[in-house]
Structure 1
């Protein structure tokens, strides 16, 4: 009995939750899912922990007009309300519920699922990630929530959401931006490509202002970010030996061949030094992490 309880507490798995979200968020022109039954709209309540707080009024008006003409074609995913008898709480479909109110619809088609509080939140985050109007920062925050709150890895998210791992990794890097630059990205004054370039800039705020003022392309931004980094390195880099000894070069070559990556050794006369390993993509970074973890 305790084993069944424990397994239930772990949730039903990301792929199973994804199946329900895809049912709830499918476009209205797709073949509709058969509803379990219809529920009076006043007996349906939104999820109080819904991570999405803003709904564009124009988009709601468009959806309400469609509902007036065609009705609500795709049913909402709901669960029985945890505190009110004969009431239901929205798991996926709050946007349709809001638009239906504007269209003065009196009852809505629903599919009832037995979700825990944790699963309801997980589905709400997944549904938000699938929104067409999502900006890159909102999408990154959704991935971070799924990883931090539910322990999902980048690989698991990539597989379940049909995204590449590099897509998720690149978006998560955007969360490293200063708050001011995140706001510019959220407002659309910067693109995700601009933002990724700013992560490597010595003066990201100054470069961001240049992007907005001069309408710089992503390629131009990358070039300026790289140029600034190179000039700083030239001015701060301490003098290095003009030539490495033969033993050091041979050791670099052996390590590079063994690891399949570029390895540089900076050996100082006092016996101290530094080993630098360069990777060309995220796959090589994964390989490097696996190699290093074997030494634990």
Structure 2
């Protein structure tokens, strides 16, 4: 179920995003083209781009770009790498097929196309997910269905955006893997987290080594805290958390103190907050 959507291919999800024999191909000035404003990919591999430049210099642009008409010129729907390579090769014109797409379709196509090619790093994926949710006021469940992924997959990526910018940049550059990022999320103290991140970068530590360091740090931090009530370690709380997470379809944490506790419910967009409020009202919890 997790990869059902993406497994079909971009053409199956958006048939009009691909060029077919019935489409009319036009030559348009390169200067009239603009990148997709919803393009999630920020980093383009220079070596791979140079190979494409060499290829189009020798063979030309075999596959036309798919574009949509804008107020001034055209916006690229699919084919930004070809567009960049054409600029590097000093082309004046490129072949395009003009089609109609909404803003929502532009965002989805750009995201799914890059996900299928695995061109995006983890932070770019997380930022693209958040942008889709915020722009169109959709929930994690809606987004997961759109991109053919599970809701926990979407949640795990969105949580990366809670990391400090310095750590996010390391993930973007490829210095840290998704595993490194997820392990670092286990450190609550931001100062300690940043120091540990620098240690990982300096020593080139593996994910397993980092996980061991995180465990050691948390054990030390736990010993410094005052003993908590026995109820906190009660396995019933974990069961209650699972029940609430299943009911609300979002992460839930129960924090139990000596005499009182609190329930924390996560949400990642205004639309999702409204969904949770509506559920609580329907259950008369707020009455």
Normalised to the residue count of structure 1, the TM-score between the two structures is: 0.67
Taking the aligned partners of 1:267 and 1:90, their CA distance within structure 2 comes to 55
Cα distance change, pair 235–260 in 1 and its aligned pair in 2 (3 A): same
Does 1 or 2 have the higher relative contact order (CA < 8 Å, sep 6+)?
2
Q: 2:49 aligns with which of 60, 73, 82?
A: 60
> Comparing 92-101 with 174-183, which one deviates more in the overlay?
92-101
Q: Secondary structure at the match of 1:82?
A: coil
Instruction: Tell whether 2:106 aligns with 1:99.
Output: no
What are the residue-to-residue correspondences of 1:31-46 with 2, within 5 Å?
33-34=20-21, 35-42=23-30, 44-46=32-34
Q: Contact 2:107–2:132 at 8 Å: present in 1 too?
A: no
How far residue 41 of structure 1 moved from its aligned partner, in angstroms, is 3.3
Hey, what does 1:157 align to over in structure 2?
Answer: 143
Instruction: Tell whether 2:67 aligns with 1:78.
Output: yes
User: Any idea what the Cα deviations from partners look like across 1:124-156, whole Å, max 9, x if unmatched?
Assistant: 455455553322111111111111112233223
Hey, what does 1:139 align to over in structure 2?
Answer: 125
Hey, what does 2:204 align to over in structure 1?
Answer: 215
Q: Contact 2:53–2:86 at 8 Å: present in 1 too?
A: yes
> Comparing 218-227 with 102-111, which one deviates more in the overlay?
102-111
5+ residue gaps in structure 1?
Answer: 1-14, 24-31, 278-288
- Name the larger-Rg structure: 1
Q: Contact 1:79–1:89 at 8 Å: present in 2 too?
A: yes
Q: How many residues align?
A: 249
How far residue 159 of structure 1 moved from its aligned partner, in angstroms, is 2.7
Q: 2:166 aligns with which of 180, 203, 206?
A: 180
Taking the aligned partners of 1:149 and 1:265, their CA distance within structure 2 comes to 33
Instruction: Tell whether 2:182 aligns with 1:205.
Output: no
How far residue 46 of structure 1 moved from its aligned partner, in angstroms, is 1.0
How far residue 177 of structure 1 moved from its aligned partner, in angstroms, is 0.7
How far residue 182 of structure 1 moved from its aligned partner, in angstroms, is 1.4
Normalised to the residue count of structure 2, the TM-score between the two structures is: 0.68
Instruction: Tell whether 2:220 aligns with 1:231.
Output: yes
5+ residue gaps in structure 2?
Answer: 1-9, 246-252, 265-275
How far residue 56 of structure 1 moved from its aligned partner, in angstroms, is 3.9
Cα distance change, pair 134–264 in 1 and its aligned pair in 2 (3 A): closer
How far residue 97 of structure 1 moved from its aligned partner, in angstroms, is 1.8
Taking the aligned partners of 1:217 and 1:167, their CA distance within structure 2 comes to 22
Q: Contact 2:30–2:94 at 8 Å: present in 1 too?
A: no
Q: Secondary structure at the match of 2:67?
A: strand
How far residue 194 of structure 1 moved from its aligned partner, in angstroms, is 0.7
